[in-house]
Chains A and B, each alone.
Chain A
Amino acid sequence: MSRPNPLFRNLTSKVAATPMIFIVLVVFVGSTAWTVASSFTSIKTLPIFTPREFYDTWVGWDQYVRLFNTPRWITSITNLAIYGLLYSGFAFVIGFLLAVLMDQKIRAEGVFRTIYLYPFALSFIVTGKVWAWILNPAFGLEKTVRDLGWTSFSFDWLTNRDMAIYTVVIAGLWQGTGLVMALMLAGLRSIDDEIWRAARVDGIPKWRTYLQIVVPMMRPVMITIFVIVASGSVRVYDLVIALTQGGPGNSSQVPSMYIYEKLFVGALAQGTAASSVLLLATAVILIPWILVEFGKKGRG
């Protein structure tokens, strides 16, 4: 009997996995490569494919130079930095504190979890519309507090150029901290009870056990949560569209809005250059996660 060709071993499996392989190669690898490559060209509306076309339109770093000389882009990345840092930071701290509270063998845990997590089931569009209403200075919180007698009360962030981006943080936190809480709680529950018992026997106070023993043990979970939260905040789009539409003026613009506009109004390469910058930002966020994943495999 001759040995079968290894190419045909598992043949059905290979056929069945074709859609996944197609999507990975064409969409995930191919599209990323195309986006990065086209950002070095001068294309405007018509996409290009052949090396010849790339050669003819090649302009080097021009698109990036133009990008970083565009005030609107600078506003956008500044806003993204503000949003990303505040959102990730607060979601992390609040999510962890809520998870610790939930971990104190409380009653009605299910009720509290349901309350903290329900906003996460809602879309960013719904989230944005609700908060736009609550923060509306003419009818919302500001008017309500003034009607109560505090007539000088001011909470006009939504219509204030300097503060609009912070309303996006408020709404984002409302939507997303429940997720962080749920993930942190799962991490806390995976800690062996023995550790708690040992800490109690040694007379270590609870808060110190959390800070010095439990948190370091949860490091891999924390890094994964950080990557999910931070890479999610880079994508922020719908929330801003629903809450401020990038306004007032351009004051709460974010990169994804800039990209969307450039891609579909005839500045294709400018859009892909801006996308590539976001890709780079995500790569920077991903590195700690890849190190952890890689490290895990290394240890077997």
Chain B
Amino acid sequence: MFAPDRVLIYTLLIVTSIYYLVPLYVMIITSLKDLDMIREGNIFIPTARPTLDAWIKAWSQACTGLNCTGLAPGFWNSVFITIPSVVVSIAVASISGYCLANWPFRVAEWCFTILLVGSFIPYQVFLYPLVIITREMGIYSTLYAVIFVHTVFGLPILTLLFRNYFASLPEELFKAARVDGAGFWRIFFQVMLPMSVPIFTVAVILQVTGIWNDFLFGVIYAGPTNYPMTVQLNNIVNSLQGVKEYNVEMAATILTGLVPLTIYFLSGKYFVRGIAAGAVKG
């Protein structure tokens, strides 16, 4: 029952788990303290008198420069960036994956190979050219530019995901539909899509967390009025005015991580499938 190697395995697993959990724990207990407790206390010991004041301040009153609007506008900007970006990137990638899996032609296959290699190129290489491209399209420094950029960088992994999934569906279904006279779009909407709910779920989770967590593209392409939550968090924490309010910083940090964390805890299995898709190919 208590063989020594089992004890060792569980000990190691539990000790490492603690290391992974400590930052979350510290974040939560710090956000529930007031400033006096932070100055006197120990970061690992929770307060006896928890308060949500720091959360309220982080959400609606914390300042960046002269703006004291809290994180709330950043939250809504992130929502308005994330939803269309997820929809557009998945639409483009699922159709591209469908072309590659079921209606392949040579140029598309070349492009797909370039895409797979290109997905490893550092973003820094594309930053300025994408400024030029979005400026030429007349969308630089708007929501549309960020949506476009997220579509571009979501394309490699998502196309791979969809191509492999569509290719794994039984070919007979596709052939039967063609014999019945269904064309490209009809097969896509009426045969493929109804069978693809799991892969769309994986793709949505992958994209929502990825886009919500983005910082760089938001800073460069969205324009100051559309700055996402990550950017606003960074600005709030970095605006040095008077006493540093670490409890407000930690509350703001949790608030920013809340959406991806919630998605992660609700959808663990799909999340793992999404991140594994790129490495362990079907």
Contact = CB atoms under 8 A, between A and B. Distances in A.
B184 A12 contact: yes
Interface stretch (B64-72, B129-137, B169-177): B129-137
Interface string B94-137: 01101110011101100110110110111111111110110000
A23 B237 CA distance: 36
> Main SS of chain A's interface residues?
helix
A182 B272 contact: yes
B2 interface: no
A111 to B, nearest CB: 8
Contact of B13 (A47, A101, A225, A245): A101
Contact of B95 (A16, A125, A186): A16
A72 B256 CA distance: 32
B111 A20 contact: yes
Contacts of A134: 22-23, 26, 43
Contacts of B17: 112, 115-116
A124 B121 contact: no
20 contacts: A13-B105, A17-B96, A23-B151, A24-B111, A26-B133, A117-B264, A123-B213, A123-B215, A125-B213, A125-B233, A129-B250, A130-B250, A141-B43, A144-B43, A174-B19, A182-B272, A186-B280, A241-B215, A282-B121, A286-B117
Given A20-B93, A20-B99, A225-B279, 19 more contacts: A13-B103, A17-B108, A20-B155, A112-B13, A112-B17, A113-B268, A115-B20, A117-B264, A118-B265, A190-B280, A234-B122, A235-B124, A237-B215, A241-B215, A256-B122, A276-B125, A278-B124, A285-B120, A286-B117
Listed from nearest, the 10 A-B pairs whose CB atoms lie closest are: A123-B213, A31-B129, A13-B103, A121-B264, A12-B184, A28-B118, A20-B96, A24-B111, A238-B215, A17-B99
Interface of B: 9-10, 12-13, 16-17, 19-24, 26-27, 30, 38-39, 42-44, 92-93, 95-96, 98-100, 103-105, 107-108, 111-112, 114-115, 117-118, 120-130, 132-133, 151-152, 155, 159, 183-185, 209, 212-216, 230, 233-234, 237-238, 246, 249-250, 253, 256-257, 260-261, 263-265, 268, 271-272, 275-276, 278-280
